[in-house]
Chains A and B, each alone.
Chain A
């Protein structure tokens, strides 16, 4: 099974939200700043719970903040 990479828009969203610092985002979602840095750099894939907390901090849906690198297989098409 291949490793799925999670892209994310956290950096852009932080700047869209008044240039929110990594420390401020970390405080809001209850993690350390190092974890935010690791997520932004795609070195750490957050748990589902943390992903939802981050999305909520920006007032977005989780799929607007995180996207998978894998292309959709198209099973639902047709």
Chain B
């Protein structure tokens, strides 16, 4: 498994932990269960946990890794834009249906957060899928 795959799996694991944390906190904290979203901050440890080895002259990244990285980032950007757009428009429609004419200020950073998390999670998922399609550790 190359370092990019390990990073992607770690981000997906943190994303899953965040969802579990929010769902677990809802019965306890109610609307304040949103605090569980802070678990995603652990994804910031990725560069520290998966540093590239610089020994033995072994190639750490090549043209295929760069291609997968670009495609995964593109997928992440597309999903992020979609989630951000849906959060903006969906929130507006939902509030309008309730007869409210204004959007609460807390809603704005939440939409940005959703977009950011969607980018990281979609990029990680695309990375795992693209590496999985390519090859598994085979025989020599």
Contacts and interface: CB of A to CB of B under 8 A. Distances in A.
Interface of A: 21-23, 26-27, 30-32, 34-35, 37-38, 40-41, 43-44, 46-47, 50
Contacts of B59: 26-27, 30-32
B97 to A, nearest CB: 46
A22 B83 CA distance: 42
A26 B64 CA distance: 13
Interface in B3-21: none
Interface of B: 2, 57-65, 131, 133-138, 140
A37 B64 contact: no
B138 A32 contact: no
11 contacts: A30-B62, A32-B59, A32-B60, A32-B61, A35-B62, A37-B134, A37-B136, A37-B138, A41-B138, A46-B63, A47-B63
Given A26-B59, A44-B134, A38 B140 contact: no
A35 B140 contact: no
Contacts of B131: 34
**Chain B, interface SS category:** loop
Contacts of B57: 27
Given A21-B140, A22-B140, A27-B58, A32 B135 contact: no
Contacts of B136: 37
**By CB atoms of chain A within 10 A, which of B2, B57, B134, B135 has the most?**
B135
A37 B59 CA distance: 15
Contacts of A44: 64, 134-135
B3 to A, nearest CB: 10
Contacts of A23: 140
Contacts of B63: 31, 35, 46-47, 50
B42 to A, nearest CB: 27
